[in-house]
Amino acid sequence: MAERFHIAEWYGHPYMDIAPIDRVRLAQHRVGAHTMKKADTKRLAALQEKVVGAQLTPREQDRLDVLMR
């Protein structure tokens, strides 16, 4: 079946291009009660992308844990 429409995106990525495991990971993301600063949002996205392709350093993992709360 050919794809006719493709307007959905999730966290800036076309939904149809997100692998199932990444959809699960994105669905588990929780934003805290506070509003995140733009720099923190960008850092969170960068760390989440790095998790997919490589292993995080302990410092990066700690930062990701803080940002995911």
Nearby residues of 26 by Cβ (< 8 Å), 6 or more positions away: 10, 11, 18
pLDDT exceeding 70 applies to what percent of the chain? 80
Over residues 3-28, mean pLDDT: 75
Better-predicted residue by pLDDT, 26 or 2: 26
Q: Are 18 and 10 in contact (CB under 8 A)?
A: yes
Mean pLDDT of 2-29: 74
Block residue for tokens 């493709």 = 6
Q: Which residue has the higher pLDDT, 66 or 3?
A: 66
pLDDT of 34 reads 60
Q: What is the tens place of the pLDDT at every residue in 21-37? A: 888 777 776 666 566 78
